[in-house]
Amino acid sequence: MTARHRVLVVEDDVEFSLDLQQILKSLKCESVPVTNAEDAIRELKAKPFCLVLLDLQIKSEPNSNKAHLEHGKSLLRDIRQMYSEHNGVRFWLPVLVVSGYARERDIVLEVMRDNASNIIEKPDTKTISEAIRKAFAESGRDAHDQCENHRSGLRDNFSEKVVVTIPGDRDKQRIIVRLGSQPVKLTVSSLRILLHLILGYLQNRQVHKNELGANNEQGFKGISILRNELKQVLGEIDIVKNHYHGIYALITSVEIGEITFDKLFELGDHQISSLVVKLQQVSAPPAEKV
């Protein structure tokens, strides 16, 4: 049997929830329906999902007396914290808001700012079906095999900690770096910048743009390019803090893992080799006293 996309349906209107489940069935998707934010979080922690359909006006927990818009909006923010992975254009886990408030401009702006993938008006089932297809395509998940081959953001909670390791493996002209369990491919120039930032982090100091190749008279785009490359995995999490006046540093929730120095030397890049020597010195354990 072909594996199917699993979709979390967060909707407290039982009849409309059944309508959504029928739409998903027609799209060969498995549905997991819940009616409140607490149950939604429990399901998200228990199993991986390929997409979320979210009503905004929901209850906070099963025994709550009244549904409220704020519960749905808060749940959206929680989901984006749990699933922060991004392919550079779209989040890997699409969250489609299906709401009767889809024509309310302020609400639309707020949920899109909180990184909803789309907002669709109830009860337009045709538009919902089309939006689901489009969301899978844009997030690179046309087939469920692509979901299974991709690690969910739940396994790496980057809002708490980002472990940076550098195995030094190459993929054509790019170098593989790992953020948590997930690989990201950096250009050589971005790797240089990252190594500078790691060195500064280990030396407990900030890094000036002059060290990164810029001069005092010009701006520096290298940090923006690095951020954009890291965004493929980190999504909206930014691990490079701008202290202004051309000064940068890695944020405190970064943890430096293993760096394979030998492979970095093999790249044959003079600047990288020089940085590796300094990193080895910083990383070396202190000599034992005789």
pLDDT value, residue 219? 60
User: Residue 101: which domain range?
Assistant: 5-155
- Mean pLDDT for the stretch of residues 135-140: 81
Phi then psi for residue 31, to 5 deg, are -110, 140
Looking up residue 144, the CATH number of its domain turns out to be 3.40.50.2300
Strand 182-186, strand 170-171: pairing: unpaired
pLDDT value, residue 151? 47
Q: Which of 289, 88, 260 is nearest to 185 (CA)?
A: 88
pLDDT value, residue 101? 87
* Domain presence at residue 168: yes
- Mean pLDDT for the stretch of residues 192-210: 96
- Say whether pLDDT at 289 is over 50: no
Q: Could you give the number of structural domains in the chain?
A: 2
- Mean pLDDT for the stretch of residues 187-191: 96
* Domain presence at residue 288: no
Cα distance between residue 202 and residue 205, in whole Å: 8
Partners of 269 in beta bridges: none
pLDDT value, residue 86? 65
pLDDT value, residue 166? 93
List pLDDT tens digits, range 10-29: 999 999 999 999 999 999 99
> What is the average pLDDT score of the chain?
87
pLDDT value, residue 153? 41
Beta strands in 86-238 (DSSP E): 95-99, 118-121, 162-166, 170-171, 174-179, 182-186, 207-208
- Say whether pLDDT at 162 is over 90: yes
Last residue of a domain, one of 128, 155, 182: 155
List pLDDT tens digits, range 277-286: 999 999 865 5
Residues 134 and 172 in one domain: no
Range with the poorest average pLDDT among 78-82, 106-110, 149-153? 149-153
Residues 19 and 137 in one domain: yes
pLDDT grade for 218, boundaries at 50, 70 and 90 = low
Residues 251 and 132 in one domain: no
Could you tell me how far CA 277 lies from the centroid of its own chain? 32
- Say whether pLDDT at 290 is over 60: no
